[in-house]
Amino acid sequence: MKKTTIVIALGGNAILSTDASAKAQQEALTYTAKQLVKLIQKGYQLVISHGNGPQVGNLLIQQQATDSKENPAMPLDTCVAMTQGSIGYWLENALAKEVQNAGIKQEIATLVTQVIVSENDPAFEDPTKPIGPFLSQEKAQAIMNETNTLYKEDAGRGWRKVVPSPKPLSIQEHQVIKTLIKNDILTICGGGGGIPISGNDLTGVEAVIDKDFSSEKIAELADADLFVILTGVENVAINYGKENEQQLKQVSVKKLEEYIKQGQFEPGSMLPKVEAAIQYVKAKPTNKAVITSLEKLSDFGEQEVGTEVVFD
């Protein structure tokens, strides 16, 4: 019997909060793995992608701090690859321990994933993707005055460095992902939105891809049955933070597009998640996408979970 395949997009902030140490991030991933294993116990086939915004930003700071002729800083695409490897390593080991504790026989693999983008994408003219730590406006302005970098205010939480975020055209390794799924291997891929490469010559591009859009492309090309985007809240809401806030349970693509026009979702926060969910459902109208929190994963298959996005 074919298992239901779920692509689950984890956020980078689910791995790193205030403590950037390896130990703290590994502890966070241990908790994450415990939640994911609950779905494996229910018989689901998982493909897991993850963000790396905080991690790649911190790595860039480290690279810049030690930059020299003898030890030059690595470019952004290479830093994305480096954090794919480190986070994938931590997550794979955390999952391996938890499936063993649960008495499950499950092979796990982490795949270095490249995402094809167009160098003519308008994102290169308007950097918007936040990476790295949150700074005060004064600190951000000081850095901008000293370096050729751009910082922007991020959803009321502080100022963060922003870089181009082109839309993914395809996943270079999508056939490999399908092969792993076919062989019942729990797959970790698309780390940090994937390593951006040019569609012309497959060379690295200085950009960061939004992990929700690259995860959608993975779900689409891998023929997933369900696309799940995890965030810090259980449901998408309109009028968020106001007295008339309304949580959405099941919502159509058409209705969500109306809410987007109304400016209901914060750019760089909930908006890309909603747009990625819409994109997936439009590509596969018989399937649905779900936006919810990590803690609600254990309820899958037993009750309605999060915000379900369905076709009109």
Catalytic residue (choose from 11, 12, 191, 193): 12
Catalytic residue (choose from 34, 217, 273, 296): 273
Catalytic residue (choose from 129, 161, 284, 296): 129
Q: Are 80 and 56 in contact (CB under 8 A)?
A: yes
Q: Is 38 a catalytic residue?
A: no
Q: What is each CA distance from 263 to 51, 58, 144, 229, 270, in whole angstroms? A: 24, 31, 29, 20, 11
Catalytic residue (choose from 53, 190, 191, 211): 211
Give the residue among 145, 186, 163 at the shortest CA–CA distance from 36: 186
Q: Is 85 a catalytic residue?
A: no
Q: Is 11 a catalytic residue?
A: no
Q: Are 206 and 164 in contact (CB under 8 A)?
A: yes
Write down the residue that tokens 């810090």 correspond to: 232
Q: Is 105 a catalytic residue?
A: no
Catalytic residue (choose from 3, 13, 38, 158): 13
Q: What is each CA distance from 9 to 217, 286, 298, in whole angstroms? A: 11, 20, 16
Q: Is 129 a catalytic residue?
A: yes
CA 86 – CA 303 distance, rounded (Å): 35
134: number of Cβ within 10 Å = 16
CA 299 – CA 293 distance, rounded (Å): 11
Angle between helices 253-261 and 271-283 (to 10 degrees): 150
Give the residue among 67, 56, 60 at the shortest CA–CA distance from 16: 56
List active site positions. Answer: 12-13, 129, 211, 273
